[in-house]
Amino acid sequence: MNNNLNLLKPVQLGAYKLSNRMVMAPLTRMRAKAGNVPQEMNVVYYSQRASAGLIISEATQISPQGLGYPNTPGIHSAEQIEGWQKITEAVHDQGGKIFLQLWHVGRVSHPSLQPNGELPVAPSAIAPEGMVSTLSGEQPYVTPRALETEEIPMIVEQYRQAAQNAMQAGFDGIEVHSANGYLLDQFLHDGSNKRTDQYGGSIENRARFLMEVLEAVTTVWDADKVGVRLSPSSNFGSMFDSDLEALFNYVVSELNRFNLAYLHIVEPRIQGHEIIEDDENGLGARHFRSIYHGTIITAGGYTREMGEAVLEQGDADLVAYGRLFIANPDLPKRFALNAPLNQYDRSTFYGGDERGYTDYPFLDESEILMTV
């Protein structure tokens, strides 16, 4: 067993000493039960993967309006909180740590998923391109309704209440999802934000919503138990901006004043659900290392060798793994032994039952002997 891997070395992440630097990335799996409530197979799934240094939960909507995909869990009802409590208890029983990712999808939704069949909301009435998953199959995105100025503090309050609910559910911390073309990200980009009030126009104004959310959730949680996820180079959800570098240099520099647990960066090679060739010139962890003064988690199709390299180079402090953790619940052990990895089944990523969810095999004793 290789205990000299950087990936397996302990690390201080905000308030917590983690056993290793391997993070289970937030992974939407669409397996909540009716009412968007976590269920028993979710408990098994997360507890199986508790050897990660940190688990970041699947994206979890802060309100009924925040829903954008069928069967994704929420954190706004008593039943949802109770469902998540069973998960956090199971992860803690296995010695793990778990943060809840707070989510509002904004325009990436459909009236059939919204309360009373209402339009999804967004910074501006601009529809993304593509199709949205609904309970009756894929449908084209609709043009959303632009949020009124006075509605935005109400959504900030929903983030604060969701942070409070996460604490009640027993999480170790929270991550604010401000990436991948969802509501907070929509406010950041001038391609989706055409507002003329204090939440639009200048970079400072477009970043205001995110900063207000962080100010709100850090009244509930100590800042060293709060992270933020950004995807500066992603165009998922029809995201674009006239000056991405200026925008995200400003956002990341502003995050320094919060003294957060971490900044979670999605690398440029991740475009939507696909991994593309990485030219290393985009706005990834390396770019922000000199700007951000705290801990950086990097995510983006990493292998064991790539993860080792990014830590060795000092571009990031922890590495998030998604697909590999789906198929390998004991991924840290497999990395330690340089053991073969289970291959993931992409057809079972979203929705369904235990197949492709809790039935991936762990290393057995015979496999371990073969690799030592």
Reply yes or no on whether 182 is catalytic.
Answer: yes
CB contact at 8 A, 361 and 332: no
Contacts 24+ apart (CB under 8 A), 207-214: 207/247, 207/250, 207/251, 207/254, 209/152, 209/156, 209/184, 210/176, 210/178, 210/184, 210/251, 211/254, 212/152, 212/153, 212/156, 213/156, 213/159, 213/176, 213/178, 213/184, 214/176, 214/255, 214/258, 214/260
CB contact at 8 A, 221 and 183: no
Number of separate helices (H) and strands (E) present in the chain: 12, 16
CB contact at 8 A, 329 and 357: no
User: Which region, left, alpha or beta, applies to residue 222 given φ > 0 means left and ψ of -120 to 50 means alpha?
Assistant: beta
The catalytic position among 182, 262, 292, 302 is 182
63-93 exposure pattern, b = at least 16 Cβ within 10 A, e = fewer:
bbbbbbbbbbbbbbeeebbebbbbbbebbbe
**CA–CA distances in Å: residue 365 to residues 271, 317, 323, 368, 369:** 38, 32, 24, 5, 6
Task: Please state, as a whole number, how many other Cβ atoms lie within 10 Å of the Cβ of residue 131.
Answer: 12
CA–CA gap between residue 312 and residue 236 (Å, rounded): 30
Residues labelled catalytic: 182
